[in-house]
Amino acid sequence: MQDYLKGLNERQREAVITTEGPLMIIAGAGSGKTKVLTTRIAHLMNKGVDAFNILALTFTNKAAAEMKERVEHILANREARNLYIGTFHSVFARILRAEAHRLGYPNAFTIYDTDDAKSVVKAVTNELNLDVQHYKPNAVYNRISGAKNALVGAKEYMADYYLQQEDMRANRPMIGHIYDAYQKRCFKNGAMDFDDLLFKMYELLKTFPEVLHKYQHKFKYILIDEYQDTNPAQYEIIKLLGAVSENVCVVGDDAQSIYSFRGATIQNILQFQKDYDEVKVIKLEQNYRSTQTILNIANEVIKNNKGQIPKTLFTENSAGEKIKLVRTMTDNDEGKFVADQIQEMRLRNHFKNKEFAILYRTNAQSRSFEESLRRANIPYTIYGGISFYQRKEIKDYIAYLRIIVNPKDEEALKRIINYPVRGIGKTSVDRAILAANERNISMWEVLTDAAASGFRAGTLQAIEEFVLMIKSFHSMLGSKNAYDVAFHVGKQTAFVKELFNDKSTEGVQRYENVQELLNSIKEFTETPASEESGEVGDKSLGAYLQQITLLTDSDQKDPDADTVKLMTIHAAKGLEFPVVFVGGLEEGLFPNAMSINTRDELEEERRLFYVAITRAKGRLYLTYANTRYKFGQLQQADASRFIEEIPAEYLDKSFAGGGVKNQGSSKLMGSAFERMNRGFGGTEKSEKSFVSTLIGGNGKPKETAHTPSANFVPSDVSKLEEGMRVEHQKFGFGNVVKLEGSSHNPVATIKFDANGEKKIMLNYAKLMIV
Ligand code: ATP
Ligand code: MG
């Protein structure tokens, strides 16, 4: 038996080795679903399946990176980098980069984040002469997002009787028109928003049979983690891609479905079984993560939900400690209690910071924990909150870079056309936008032919200078890497200098952030695509932008850093920690006041609580405060009803006043209306989960493998000269054609006998001069 199969239980093993045909694993938290998925990938590759033929979709980039690492570890080689593995959004973005032209988008399309998208919504709402106070961009954007995730296009939206009725009732009958105008504007700007990455992917596969055929044959094995949270768009795409091979393996837990309300929870799981003739279903029942006590209360809590797939979950782990229930007077006391406990456990039990997680229902709750931790000098990392790339100065800088790569990008253009001030005021910008709309061309095209649009002489000159500048930047793209272009832009545009001259505390911080951005671009250009072979990969500005646009806040943080982790429960999905604090267990907060009006909403909150509890391996604290500031007012709070659902025998109330005081398509396709109202609407999730970096293989053809010669010893590469003959540990023999790059990061172009010409970073490469 293969080593990697040894540690698995019988069912897990069966799930790993059943490689052919549709397979569904439905099992409770901590039963090894993700472990099975990872081992399965390793098993497939071990059986000889080419990494290029495996598509694995995970919920976060972090999960994808971990999976890759574990596969590499099991197989002890780097082939795993060729896997297509990542979030739905990152993988589809990558495919769309190659195919978007078929849909009329530039392949170098811009990805709009939610800020960009809302700004476009606002602009088109204004242009339609609608009141943005009434048609709030945020609300309209969420409605559009919900539609796209249910695969409802603008035309379909406007034609759907029920959706129209809904909008009428909400007194916002024009949302469909805004949607239509928004979509057209994004198209004109050569931009897609996060939801388009799914929506357009679906359109691509539906419209172009040859593309569908290509990817159906490429992805012979498809694996999906956290299947319970896929939305209709994702579901339909998987169905299309898997239709030929039918080797689709999904793992999930209906009890952990936390991104859908209104009865949608088990729909896609049930539907999966109907989509194929013979779906093999495997249930995993042993939990390896948590103590018996933690598992017992999780089971007790989730029992209160009616619509669950029956499952048993047991563990052979020890009973462990009781769950600590803690009531404090105020939210600040709650923060202080948690910090004190962490301090104590560090001293007494030698826990490391990174073994603690503090979980909460809403981002705003992080403040009191943060303050207490800071006061106690305990290092921590907050996931969520404002990301580096959302800061104004960073967005400004990146807007310049975006416009160079895709001049049609109107959002970027509007951001920087008069920043720093160059005499192109708001009136002129409005005029340019108007002219663009009238002539149905992009704003950039208007600017390049500004003389035709009747600008005043002074403005005209400023525009012409601006256009010339951007064009000169653009001309660097072919020959310069991302850093060189970005650095040049910073120097030429004077806005970095402006930041530098601002000596206020915020100004200094902003300048440092810009420096940090440049550092990270430099790092990008100096890190090879493959650390093993040292192969350079694409270091262009376009490649850089593609990589960062889908980066989430949490991707920028080192998960191994020895810090206490603070995050919402949504963000904690799939993770585990030795000690978990769940804060704010108060009525109105958790369950949230927004989500207690129907049984379905409440059940979703309960599933969220179930997810929170089951993140804990050994110790679990549930905390709540008597009073808490809400909307600037001190409010009394009752204990959460979820606390009452935990049998007293499992609870330890001896802590700090602990105790409860106050009691208080297929079928899935359906009509547009049904699809949208099945609860797959993109409200919270479109902001939180759908941003991610592009991780995955490089999409290049398979290389000819090379086994290094017996006497292979890497040489001192500083002795390398053009014309020399070398052996590369992976690409084999070849001749050095050219040496370039800086002295601290030299790059060689080598023509390999069996693998053609490649650029290699010498700091990383293992080369022997022969
Ligand atoms: P969740 O529902 O929270 O995503 P999961 O079902 O994906 O959980 P995993 O994260 O894969 O569960 O596994 C939970 C923990 O149990 C991990 O630490 C994993 O390494 C461990 N584990 C899983 N299977 C086994 C096994 N057969 N032997 C020992 N440990 C195991
Ligand atoms: Mg998992």
Q: Annotated catalytic, 562?
A: no
pLDDT at 325: 96
pLDDT at 742: 76
The residue among 454 and 559 whose pLDDT is bigger is 454
Q: Is the peptide bond before 591 cis (omega within 30 degrees of 0)?
A: yes
Closest CA to 403 of 149, 191, 127: 191
Q: Report CA(574)–ligand 1 centroid distance (Å).
A: 9
- Please determine, for residue 666, whether its predicted confidence score (pLDDT) is greater than 50: no
**What is the chain's percent helix, strand, coil content, to nearest 5?**
50, 15, 35
At residue 524 the predicted structure's pLDDT band, cuts being 50, 70 and 90, is confident
Helices of type H across 557-659: 599-613, 641-644
Active-site pick, 256, 308, 459, 546: 256
Active-site pick, 573, 607, 615, 766: 615
Q: Report CA(251)–ligand 2 centroid distance (Å).
A: 8
The reply to whether ligand 1 has any atom less than 6 angstroms from the CB of 30 is yes
Which residues are CB-contacts of 700 (< 8 A; sequence separation ≥ 6)? none
pLDDT in tens, 672-685: 766 666 543 333 33
> Of 165-169, 179-183, 385-389, where does mean pLDDT reach its minimum?
385-389
CA distance 530 to 544: 15
pLDDT in tens, 428-451: 999 999 999 889 899 999 999 999
Tokens of 371: 């303050």
Q: What percent of the chain has pLDDT over 70?
A: 90
The reply to whether ligand 1 has any atom less than 6 angstroms from the CB of 683 is no
Active-site pick, 12, 34, 286, 614: 34
pLDDT in tens, 316-339: 999 999 999 999 988 889 999 999
Closest CA to 498 of 480, 488, 489, 510: 510
The H or E element spanning position 58 is strand 54-58
pLDDT in tens, 91-139: 999 999 999 999 999 998 999 888 889 999 999 999 999 999 999 999 9
CA distance 63 to 60: 5
The answer to whether 683 and 146 have CB atoms below 8 angstroms apart is yes
* Amino acid (1-letter code) at residue 341: Q
CA distance 404 to 416: 12
Q: Which residues of 725-739 are buried (b: 16+ CB within 10 A; e: fewer)?
A: ebbbbbbbbbebeeb
Q: Report CA(32)–ligand 2 centroid distance (Å).
A: 7
The reply to whether ligand 1 has any atom less than 6 angstroms from the CB of 388 is no
Beta strands, E only, 504-615: 564-568, 577-582
pTM summary value: 0.78
Q: Annotated catalytic, 707?
A: no
Report in angstroms the alpha-carbon separations of 636 from 167, 270, 550.
36, 42, 40
CA angle (180 as vertex; 102, 113 as ends), nearest 5: 70
Collect contacts of 257-260 with beta carbons under 8 A, ≥24 apart: 257/228, 257/229, 257/604, 257/607, 258/229, 258/569, 258/570, 258/573, 258/604, 258/607, 258/608, 258/611, 259/229, 259/231, 259/570, 259/684, 259/685, 259/689, 260/229, 260/231, 260/604, 260/678, 260/679, 260/680
ipTM score assigned to the predicted complex: 0.99
- The bound ligand whose nearest atom lies closest to the alpha carbon of 29 is 1
- Please determine, for residue 723, whether its predicted confidence score (pLDDT) is greater than 80: yes
Around ion ligand 2, residues with a beta carbon closer than 5 Å are 33-34, 574
